Chains A and B, each alone.
Chain A
Amino acid sequence: MKGNIYIITRELFYILTIALLIFSIMELLAPNIVQAYISLNLVLLLWLVNGMVLLMINKNKI
C-alpha cells in the first residue's frame, strides 16, 4: 500500500511536470490559451506540493 502511494505520487509529479511544460509552451505560443480555463499558478502550486510530498515519502523510505 505504501509502495503504491509512492508510485502514484511519483507518477503525479511526472505528469504535473510535463503538464506545466506543455502549458507554458502553449501560453508562449498563444497567450491565454491555457489561462482562460486553468490557472498556471495553481498547476505550479500543485506541482510544488506534490514534489514536497514525494520528497517526504522518499525520506521515510530511506
Chain B
Amino acid sequence: MRISNILYNKQMSFIFKIRFILYSFLLIIIFFLLYKAVVPSGKIIYAITPCDNSFFIQKLKPKDRLDKVDRKSCTQKIIGDPVYFDLNTQRTFNEADVTVTYRSSGENNVIEMGAQADARKNYRLHPLENKIIDSLNWNKISENGVTFLQKKKIYDNIDAFLNSLPSKSEIATYHYDLPPPTTISNYQPNNQPAIIKQPLCGSYQFYTYIDGPTAEFEFLFSDLNENKDADNVVLTLYDMRNNPVTARNILDERGREETRQAQDAGGLHVELTTLAPGFYKMEVATTDDIITTQILSSQKIISFINRLCLAKATNADLITLYADANEITASTLNPASLQKILVNHDVLNLSETYRQFSAPANEVLNKIQFAKNDIILSGAGVFSFSPESLHNPNYRKISKNQNLDSVNYIITHYQPQPSATGEWQTKILHFNLKNIFWYEHNYNFIFSIPGLIAGDGTDDYIEIKDIKIELQGRSLWEKIAQIFNI
C-alpha cells in the first residue's frame, strides 16, 4: 500500500470520528428539545425564585405594583393589586399544582391566586389566605374539603345544613357555589316597563327575574368611534347554571373607526316567550366604544353584577344608585368627573383620575348618590337604578371588608388556618387547566390581594419567596392511544 493511501485512510478515519461525535451531540440536543416540548410522561415541574430568569415561569408584572427583587434573600414584595405572571409551555396540560411560598404584612384580609379562564380576562381564583374566616371562633365542621362555620351550633353536619337552609341573609359563602333560590316568593311584576336612560359604557351583565309568559328587553346603542377595532355587540341570556339560552348580535359594519364622531349603532330587541320562571343573567359583551344609551324592559329586576360603567351624558341630574355590595369602589379616567360621592351617609372622595377609591357600605340596601357621570362603580354585589330593581339571587360572598354581624353561617372550600402574619407560609393550590385559557403557549396567573394599593402610603405587602408549578397532562402513549382508538 502506498504511503499516500495510508495517510488518506487515516484522515478519513479521523473525519469520521469527528463527524460521529458532532452529529451524535446534535442528535442528543434535538431529542432533548423534543422531549422537553412533548413531555412524553405528561408530568413536568417548573420552579423559580424572584432572582431567577426562567423562560417557563416568567417574571411578575407589572413593575409598578412590585418592589425591587431583594437579591440577598431572593424575594420580591407585591405592593399593588393585581399582579400577574405567565407560565410558558409548549403543550397543554390538564392539571397544575401551584406551590407558593409567601408571607404577608398582615394588613390584607384576602389573598387569592387564580388563572385566566377566557379571552375576556376572567380569572378562576383560589384562596391562599382569608383572615376574616381564619379569625372566626365559630363552631367548625369540615367534611370532604368543605368547611362549614356556624355562629351557634345548630346543625350537626353539612348535609343537615344543605337540606334545610336558613334564611339567605344569614348565609355567606366563600369559594363555594351554593345553588341560589330559584324563585322569589310574593313577586309582584311591573305594570309599567322599566326604562334606564343613564348611558352605560362597554360590557356589563345584569340579573333579571322572569316569572310571566313573556319578557321583553330593548337595548339602544351608540358607537363613539374612538378606538380602531370593530365594535361588535353580543347579547347573551344565560340561565343560573350559566347555560346560554339565547343570543343576539350586532356586527360593526359602520366603519368610521377612530374618527371620534359618535354614531347610532342600532338596537337589539329580545322577546322571550317560553322561558321557565326564575333568575337569568343578561350579558352585553362589547368594546369600550359602545355606549348603551337606553335599556327598556318589561321586567322589574335589573341588577347589574359587580361593575357598572356610567358613560358621559349631558344634562345629567343627581344620579342615585342602589347596591348590596359591602364596599363600593369608584374610579374615573375623566378629570371633569372628580367629585364627592355619597355612599349612605359616608363621603367617598373621588379625588384622582386612574385610581380606585373605596368606601364601606354596610346597609342591606346601600344608596349611592353623585352629580357627575363618566365614572366606574364596582363592588362584590349588584347595582341598580331603583330599589325595587335590586335583587341579588346569589348568596353573600365574603369580601375583604365583610361585615359578618348578620351572618350566622359560612360555607367554604377554604380550609381555615391559624394566623401566621409575617411568617413564611407554603400553600399548594390545585388548578384544573382544562378550563383555563392557553394563548400563545402561555397560561396566565394572577395574585389578587383586594385593597393592596401601590403608593397609598401604607407599608402593606405580600412577599413572594418561590413558586413551583407541577403540571400533569396526557402522556405520549395516552395521546397515541387516543388517536388510534386503542
Contacts and interface: CB of A to CB of B under 8 A. Distances in A.
Interface of A: 3-4, 7-8, 11-12, 14-15, 18-19, 22, 26, 30-38
A18 B27 CA distance: 11
Given A15-B23, A18-B26, 11 more contacts: A7-B14, A7-B18, A11-B19, A15-B26, A19-B26, A30-B90, A32-B88, A33-B33, A35-B55, A36-B88, A37-B36
A27 B312 CA distance: 48
Q: What 5 A-B pairs come out closest when comparing CB atoms?
A: A15-B22, A36-B55, A11-B18, A33-B37, A19-B26
B476 interface: no
Given A18-B26, A36-B56, A37-B33, A31 B15 contact: no
Name the residue in A31, A33, A36 with the highest tally of chain B Cβ atoms < 10 Å from its Cβ.
Answer: A36
Give the interface SS of chain A, mostly helix, strand, loop or mixed.
helix
Contacts of A30: 37, 90
Contacts of B34: 33
Contacts, number: 49
Nearest to A12: B22
Contacts of B30: 22, 26
Interface string B23-58: 101100110111011000000000000000001100
Contacts of B56: 36
B441 interface: yes
B214 interface: no
27 contacts: A3-B11, A7-B11, A7-B18, A8-B18, A11-B15, A11-B18, A11-B22, A15-B19, A15-B23, A15-B25, A18-B26, A19-B26, A26-B30, A26-B33, A30-B37, A30-B90, A31-B441, A32-B90, A33-B34, A33-B37, A33-B90, A36-B36, A36-B56, A36-B88, A37-B32, A37-B36, A37-B55
Contacts of A22: 26, 30
Interface in B300-317: none
Given A3-B11, A15-B26, A37-B36, A32 B19 contact: no
Contacts of A33: 33-34, 37, 90
Contacts of A31: 441
A18 B26 CA distance: 9
A3 B18 CA distance: 13
A30 B25 CA distance: 22
Contacts of A15: 19, 22-23, 25-26
A54 B124 CA distance: 57
Interface in B250-284: none
Nearest to B37: A33
A14 to B, nearest CB: 8
A7 B12 CA distance: 10
